Homo-oligomer: A and B are copies of this chain.
Amino acid sequence: MSVPIRVCLVGGGRAGKVHANSLVNHVPGGELVGIVDASPQALQDTGDQFGVEARFETLEAALDGLEFDAVVITTPTFVHKALAVAAAEGGKHVFLEKPMALSIAECDEIMAAAERSGVVLQIGFMRRFAPEFVAAFERIQAGVIGRPMLIKSLSHGPGLPPPWAHDLKKSNGLLAEVNSHDWDCVRWLMGSNPERVYSEVANFKGAARGVTAENFYDNALVNIRFESGGLGSISGVCPCDYGYDGRVEIVGELGIMQIGEMQGQSVVVCTDRQHGLVTPIFRSWAERFEWGYIREMEGFIHAIQTDTPPRVGGEDGRWAVAGALAGTRSFLEERPVYLSEIFDAGWTPA
């Protein structure tokens, strides 16, 4: 066995705990050696839960006071760039949660820092590691459904995002915070980059839940034309309340493929013939992508240990950021937007 990779977790919230669980319980090649969080409460909770003694309020302090090889960054998006660059410059491998950053310029800075330091940079697109997505990708690559023509990907999440994510200036909204996974996986599965996008958004439940941010929306529907000539759609609903729902459907010249389902556990019950059959739904993203989260952390550790490129890197994260920005610009300007307009002009809603 190789020497374990020493990992410092930056961000001890929900996503942080999911990765901590992977490192502590399911990825023996990685060792969780420190936690960074600005909140003393989060530090204590997550540190205690995973038995990690080295706790820091800033990444800077951790870089100074702890020996480690890699960071897993799960903070709010608006600090991704600063943290990822600092870690890379400190010679640490970087696992960075989605969305990669707020702008193309930030993505470029992160990628440049990682390249300069020669560290691994992996983006948190766990669908790329989820067993059913991996199997689907391989079968598409093998030509099972022929040349892809049409793809639909959805991410519907149960609860209202945190306040900072309501504000387009801090987060690029639902199209980035929730639909980053869709932007990445439609590009991955279609085997082609998006060329132009058109989006419509709606706000149904925001006001009732006290959201007052300008341009807030809780429903989004995006229409994509790919460079290949293929078509795509992305939908986002958050809060959808009914569960966590992430599914993809893809039609190729030879047939159709459906990836994922809503059913969260194979237990079916019927006790009332007027009501009908009841079966669990996935209640959260952590349940839905249980193996995806484990496998992506294995993948990160493996890339470090073998000095090979990660399965999903900065370029992929940058495309997802560009998609979210193009989608945002489209609904603000009520017109189709080319990805080139985003890359060229460095457009952001801020």
Contacts and interface: CB of A to CB of B under 8 A. Distances in A.
Nearest to A147: B204
Nearest to A235: B150
How many A residues are at the interface, by size bracket?
35 or more
A33 interface: no
Given A204-B229, A255-B271, A131 B261 contact: no
Contacts of A152: 152, 233, 235
A3 interface: no
A253 interface: yes
Given A149-B202, A257-B269, 5 more contacts: A25-B27, A241-B271, A244-B273, A256-B269, A256-B271
A280 B276 contact: yes
Nearest to A269: B257
Nearest to A156: B251
A170 interface: no
Contact of A235 (B24, B224, B233): B233
Contacts of A147: 204
A232 B1 CA distance: 48
A145 B336 contact: no
Interface stretch (A80-88, A118-126, A132-140, A315-323): A132-140
A221 B151 CA distance: 10
Contacts of A273: 158, 241-244, 281, 283
Nearest to A240: B251
Nearest to A263: B277
Interface in A306-350: 334-336
A265 interface: yes
B131 A265 contact: yes
Contacts of A279: 276-277
A264 B245 contact: no
A223 B221 contact: yes
Nearest to A250: B269
A195 to B, nearest CB: 10
A237 B149 contact: yes
Interface string A207-236: 000000000001111111100011111010
A105 interface: no
A261 B268 CA distance: 10
A303 interface: no
A37 B235 CA distance: 45
Contacts of A266: 132, 258-261, 263
A261 to B, nearest CB: 4
A350 to B, nearest CB: 25
A336 B335 CA distance: 7
18 contacts: A25-B28, A132-B266, A136-B267, A198-B198, A199-B223, A202-B231, A221-B231, A240-B251, A244-B273, A255-B271, A256-B262, A259-B267, A262-B277, A263-B277, A276-B279, A276-B281, A277-B280, A335-B335
